[in-house]
Amino acid sequence: MHDDDPDSARRRWLKQTAFSTATVALSTAVPLSATAQSQTAVRALPSETNRAKGRASFAKTIAHDSNGEVSAAARDAMEQATASGRVADWESLPVQSQMRLVNPLAGYGWEKDPLRTEVTPLPPFPALDSKVLAEQALELYWMALLRDVPLWDYGRNSVVRDAVAELSKTELFAGVTASTLFRLGLPGENSGHFISQLLWMPIPYGAHTLWQAYRTPFRGTDFMTTFDEYVKVIRGDWPPGILNHYSENFYLRSGRDLGEYVRWDFSNQAFVNAASILLGNPHRPRENWPATNPYKTSRTMNGFVSMGPAFIHNAMGSVSDAAMRACWYEKWIGHRALRPEEFGALVDRTVRGETLGIHPLVVNSEAVKRVRAKYGSALLPQAYPEGAPAHPAYPSGHASIAGACVTVLKAMFEEARELRFPLQPTRDGKDWEALSTDLPKPTVGAELNKLASNMSVGRNIAGVHWHSDAMQGLLLGERVAIAWLKSEKAKSVEAQQGWAKGFEFVGFNGKRVVI
């Protein structure tokens, strides 16, 4: 469970994000003032060729027939509302259900945001019939089958071995092993446990301490596995299923546990908590600062409102707000891509004899065969009774926030510093113990990257997001954070007087970023 060879990990990361050509150049060891000049020509509106059409487009809550199809008129109405941004067009959509679309108007505000000119847009979402989307769906089916396996048991589980055997034959997940399964390959992420220390360690909360044991669902509680149930939920009817929970709280142990955490968390919860953990004693913060923070060596001053504890906690709100606006713009106006639950319905219909253009790699896969044997359908089992939220898939909101918040935290803390008192759950998940001595000592940078991955992948494991949603969401959030940090530097007295030289951190592609 130790780090792979860095060059090998880098090649795998680049392969995973092969459909993005705009992201790598941003994270280079040059001042952002130089790179930003090439990113000011952002389009006023995204090209309509990027926006999903027909069955490839998100349509939850719109009326569906008994076969899961949406009428052409209903799809056209949503396309018109998306293009116009008019409240009247959104209010006239044929929605007659208990669920409501989640805030499509929020994305339009990003068009006027001053940060937007420095944030490049996302590449197109993979085509419905593409091999890369089929490979991503294959991963999701294996994730569903492995939700209840403790993450530290992956190395000795037979279903994990079968998942690795099938996924390793794909281009996207070539070279995957039991210890790298369902990880994104961010710098340091493959080191040690799957779950970040920042989701296990106690959280200083003022004069109180929060212990990170959480409400978790019963094992095997999956939903939308029959077509009738799927159609009801995709129409927006409130689901009939109830997600029952254990009476005791547990430390996060499995994919299902992680998926439940990211079902209920508020938008930047994990990162506010991480900031509190990394700050430790807010009255003596300088030992945690990187060398780029001038207050680390100041003879007379500590940072607080700027480049200090208040700045960091407040930044988790400011930068996550910007990342969410950018994300909602891409979701609704840019791409409007279908959710995995909608793709799973197309797989199920294909298995039953229809020709819908779905790539045979996933239709004929071992994972789909096992899901059919277990549930009686080829629908993608959902961890939540309501399935995916009522907004498009691409990119992931959790990933966009994670990318932005973690980027700021890496800029504000010494990434190479080892965490004090790392821990791990006991086998039953009810308590904690010291970290095994045979595991590498966790560092701030690696655990922050792991936290970003956990918050992103947890949504995939729940069945509501794609691999590309996670990866491109992280990269979008990183770009928003870079633009935000550049703005903060420009208006700070410390930088204006030449005392603060800027911010530095290692980007998600492994290259050092200098602002």
Q: What is the pLDDT of residues 406-425, one digit of tens each?
A: 999 999 999 999 999 999 99
CB-based burial, 358-380: b 16+ in 10 Å, e otherwise: bbebbbebebbebbeeebebbbb
pLDDT one-digit tens code per residue, 115-137 = 999 999 999 999 999 999 999 99
Q: Which of 25-39, 145-159, 273-287, 459-473 has the lowest mean pLDDT?
A: 25-39
Containing 84, the helix (H) or strand (E) segment is: helix 72-84
Lowest mean pLDDT among 50-59, 157-166, 409-418: 50-59
Is residue 346's pLDDT more than 90?
yes
What amino acid occupies position 430? K
Alpha helices, H only, 384-433 = 397-412
Mean predicted confidence (pLDDT) in 45-51: 65
Contact 447, 417 (CB under 8 A): no
Place of tokens 């780029």: 292
Integer angstrom CA distances of residue 467 from 88, 362, 464, 470, 474: 34, 15, 10, 5, 11
Which of 12-21, 43-52, 409-418 is most confident? 409-418
- The radius of gyration of the chain from alpha carbons, rounded to an integer in Å, stands at 22
pTM: 0.91
- What is residue 28's predicted lDDT score, i.e. its pLDDT? 37
Number of H helices, E strands in the chain: 17, 8
Query: In the predicted model, what is the mean pLDDT of residues 465-482?
Result: 98
Nearby residues of 256 by Cβ (< 8 Å), 6 or more positions away: 147, 148, 216, 217, 219, 221, 383, 461
Confidence class of residue 286 from pLDDT cuts 50, 70 and 90? confident
Q: What's the fold here for domain 6-121+131-151+158-173+180-514?
A: Vanadium-containing Chloroperoxidase; domain 2 (1.10.606)
Average confidence score pLDDT of the chain: 90
208-218 pLDDT, tens digit each:
999 999 999 99
**Residue 50: per-residue pLDDT:** 80
When pLDDT is cut at 50, 70 and 90, the band that residue 358 belongs to is: very high
Residue 43: predicted pLDDT: 36
> What is the percentage of the chain residues whose pLDDT exceeds 70?
90
**154 pLDDT tier (thresholds 50, 70, 90):** very high
